[in-house]
Structure 1
């Protein structure tokens, strides 16, 4: 919600601080730069600890400080620094997506991601709506001036503080071994122990073998369970047989309270993980769609000011309407992803994005006709651009989580978000410097989408989750 509250007024805020037009791109990119650097670090942290709560609490501190700096607003450089500090907190998103991947099955992952992203868009919807009231602020808070430009920073600082309290008292991490237990194996078990467990499950179907199997499992696993000997039972010979056939117990498993996994990259090659064709295609989809989205977002407010004389109220309403469309899109994608493969959803999204890019290049680079016709052209272009986002976003996130290692999912999601962060840095910079030359700006965006479409066409057959093959192998082994 934080960017949504700030976006409708940041352009005029910078103008009051005597900032050059390119400073808008710098301010918007600074937020993403910090997230780009911290995303993989927070993700690796969550991979090692299998926790998210303390990471979220740590990240929220930077959000609170950064937004308070934005509220102070003494100079354009302080405003720029505030976006850098606040952006550090966005790195926690990689930990959250890693947690979602570890907590959902591959079949339900796309729908889960769509629901979470819809919640995020709900925040982006509510943000501009709050700005409608924040623009009426006009008072002093000690040495600080609270007006329509500084109020969003103070408001978001208070919101992050409330979130911090909510996380402390209302959020708990799931037990790190819960998913492993659900599968019937612990991370420390060897292949032979997993086979024994499977045999034990089969034997439990036989009522006569249940007591015998239970005592063997308890005795072999813990060595401290005393059971009554049946009549005629030779305990000495049984003990000798047990000692001869049972290997020494494995090293003790760390208690559940210890959540540290010392080396999540032990069996994972980073170069082989991220340089595969299908991974490169999905990272390219992440970069190109976010580059185009943030470039258009940067262009929108100067364009509405130039052609339609829009102010803070009109821009806030426009962002609210766009968020409603995006939420509806995510809900539709959530329904669609249960019926078609992610690569189909991705192809649909890219098709819509290509149509939007052509429309913008033809009608928005140099609006035609009278003012009502120009407004119609603008609305259709924005509508098409926003429409394609949910399809691409959900499909590429869900597929990426399936084709990368689950052990290092936090770091992998951090890499993905860093690629997106790079796009959200370059997009505003690209658009901020070309607000007066829209043919060049929109032409490059169109070329990037065509490149992405070609990449998808050549790699379409590889965009399948390998987890399905692993499940087949597991079922064969069990059989």
Structure 2
């Protein structure tokens, strides 16, 4: 494959990834504003809203690590995406049928399986970008999802006008979103088949060369002396390791390396075929055991735990507030589908602007600084919601103003936390097993999006308890970030798995 052909395929592949996240945002924005009224027509209790929203996340939580492990072992993501999208199509068609509340619950459970492919995609993006550009790439992908959140309500404005039959099925403002998304995911299947490629190992080689070159240019500002050059700033953008072979524990710091174990040599060893004098299978078995143990041990490191906690707490609070919003607007402002769709559309504009700003900011400051800014905004939002939204004060104009400010602050902090934690997480975990690692991260987020709606759905009449717990979680995360702030940096030197010489 020549360079021009490679660049063309990479461009189309990244474009298709953007479409996948765009549709995930569209689906969320099309279904969320109407699902509460849809359930009411099926005589569902208020707590059932939390169950339905959580079901979507539950299946994604379970399938994310599996799809990620699959992509790590096979090195392919295209067939995983095609397989996962089938569940999106089936689930949304079940949502369109909507005979009972239990079918609606099952439909979201099935559709959620398709979201598990996201871990494979994030693993692919990690292996295809250098640490310096990774936050920018992740911000662009996340912005695509937010663009879907912006476009989705526009579709809903027209879908709410549907009122006809297709055979035995009724197409109305509640069932139309399911049929619409089923068609959209079907079209995406065609796009993936035509425009998505599993890029060859050449991409790994280019990424490794860029990582090595960046490391030599940036140096280390943490006091570790490199052989190549003097200390320099930019340690936030350091690669995880010089070789993809180091796939386990990262506790050992290597101050100097023998001439035969430099970065490029390790890279070539990774990309080339095994040498003729490879060790017999008996000596390779312990290596696999060490790598397996190290893979799971890395999730217990302090900095990884903090980032997983940030993933859980911010998504828990976000989904809890989203679950609370539609019943709240119905109770205080008598909002219907149109008003809720417009509200989500405006939130989409704000979030996209936030991601664009974070994309610019992440090239100038460290990931942990972006994370701290986002968490500060989230704390302000939590205090505001606890004071003014738990029991809105004043008449309609004041209540609406309090509500708008609370939603604005909550949405404002999301891009900072989302981009910073996923970018930093990809840098402090093993690149070789990024699919599995991203699956674990997304599963933690999935657990949060399960518990968040369940927590809020059962406490719509006890807002102080609901919002008080959310504020307590934010306070806990703030303390964790403060105590571990110095550790939230990518490893600046080559760090290797225990007994690397025995692992080939």
Specify the TM-score bucket, using the shorter chain as the normaliser: 0.7 to 0.9
Whether 2:308 is the aligned partner of 1:293: answer no
Counterpart for residue 295 of structure 2: 270
Find the residue that maps to 2:170 and give its secondary structure.
Answer: strand
Task: Report the Cα offset of residue 388 of structure 1.
Answer: 0.2
Could you tell me how far apart the structure 2 residues matched to 1:314 and 1:270 are?
48
Task: Report the Cα offset of residue 250 of structure 1.
Answer: 5.4
Whether 2:37 is the aligned partner of 1:12: answer yes
Find the residue that maps to 1:145 and give its secondary structure.
Answer: strand
Counterpart for residue 115 of structure 1: 140
Counterpart for residue 97 of structure 1: 122
Conserved 8 A contact 1:64-1:161: yes
Task: Report the Cα offset of residue 49 of structure 1.
Answer: 1.0
Could you tell me how far apart the structure 1 residues matched to 2:443 and 2:365 are?
28
Whether 2:160 is the aligned partner of 1:142: answer no
Counterpart for residue 367 of structure 2: 342
Conserved 8 A contact 1:101-1:401: yes
Task: Report the Cα offset of residue 99 of structure 1.
Answer: 0.4
Change (3 A) 1:440 1:249: closer
Counterpart for residue 338 of structure 2: 313
Could you tell me how far apart the structure 2 residues matched to 1:438 and 1:377 are?
15
Whether 2:47 is the aligned partner of 1:22: answer yes
- String of CA shifts for 1:340-376, please: whole Å, max 9, x gaps: 1000000000000000000001110010111011000
Could you tell me how far apart the structure 1 residues matched to 2:430 and 2:259 are?
23
- String of CA shifts for 1:25-77, please: whole Å, max 9, x gaps: 00000000000000000000010111111000000000000000000000000
Q: Number of matched residues?
A: 414
Conserved 8 A contact 2:244-2:431: no
Could you tell me how far apart the structure 1 residues matched to 2:207 and 2:369 are?
31
Could you tell me how far apart the structure 2 residues matched to 1:345 and 1:281 are?
15
Could you tell me how far apart the structure 1 residues matched to 2:113 and 2:123 are?
18
Change (3 A) 1:265 1:249: closer
**Which of 39, 42, 50 is the matching residue for 2:75?**
50
Task: Report the Cα offset of residue 182 of structure 1.
Answer: 5.8
Could you tell me how far apart the structure 2 residues matched to 1:265 and 1:6 are?
46
Could you tell me how far apart the structure 2 residues matched to 1:465 and 1:16 are?
51
Counterpart for residue 237 of structure 2: none
- With normalisation by structure 2, the TM-score equals 0.78
Task: Report the Cα offset of residue 470 of structure 1.
Answer: 2.7
Aligned pairs (5 A) from 1:210-229 = none
Task: Report the Cα offset of residue 397 of structure 1.
Answer: 0.2
**Which of 263, 288, 302 is the matching residue for 2:327?**
302
Counterpart for residue 163 of structure 1: 188
Find the residue that maps to 2:490 and give its secondary structure.
Answer: coil
- With normalisation by structure 1, the TM-score equals 0.82
Conserved 8 A contact 1:110-1:337: yes
Change (3 A) 1:330 1:193: same
Aligned pairs (5 A) from 1:316-395 = 316-395=341-420
Whether 2:403 is the aligned partner of 1:396: answer no
Counterpart for residue 253 of structure 2: none
Conserved 8 A contact 2:128-2:203: no
Conserved 8 A contact 2:51-2:105: yes
Could you tell me how far apart the structure 2 residues matched to 1:136 and 1:264 are?
59
- String of CA shifts for 1:5-36, please: whole Å, max 9, x gaps: 10000000000000000000000000000000
Could you tell me how far apart the structure 2 residues matched to 1:352 and 1:41 are?
34
Task: Report the Cα offset of residue 109 of structure 1.
Answer: 0.7
- Tell me which moved more, 175-184 or 393-402: 175-184
Could you tell me how far apart the structure 2 residues matched to 1:265 and 1:175 are?
28
Could you tell me how far apart the structure 2 residues matched to 1:3 and 1:117 are?
14
Find the residue that maps to 1:269 and give its secondary structure.
Answer: helix
Which runs of 5 or more residues in structure 2 are unaligned?
1-25, 210-241, 246-257, 279-286, 496-504
Conserved 8 A contact 1:36-1:421: yes
Counterpart for residue 469 of structure 1: 493
Could you tell me how far apart the structure 1 residues matched to 2:479 and 2:323 are?
27
- String of CA shifts for 1:134-156, please: whole Å, max 9, x gaps: 00000000000000000000000
Counterpart for residue 176 of structure 1: 201
Could you tell me how far apart the structure 1 residues matched to 2:244 and 2:99 are?
54
Which runs of 5 or more residues in structure 1 are unaligned?
202-220, 223-247, 252-261, 472-479
**Which of 428, 433, 441 is the matching residue for 1:416?**
441
Could you tell me how far apart the structure 2 residues matched to 1:407 and 1:364 are?
45
Task: Report the Cα offset of residue 125 of structure 1.
Answer: 1.1
- String of CA shifts for 1:238-278, please: whole Å, max 9, x gaps: xxxxxxxxxx8557xxxxxxxxxx97983661332100000
Task: Report the Cα offset of residue 183 of structure 1.
Answer: 4.0
Counterpart for residue 21 of structure 2: none
Could you tell me how far apart the structure 2 residues matched to 1:179 and 1:390 are?
28
Change (3 A) 1:339 1:187: closer
Task: Report the Cα offset of residue 193 of structure 1.
Answer: 8.2
Change (3 A) 1:387 1:182: closer
Change (3 A) 1:335 1:266: same
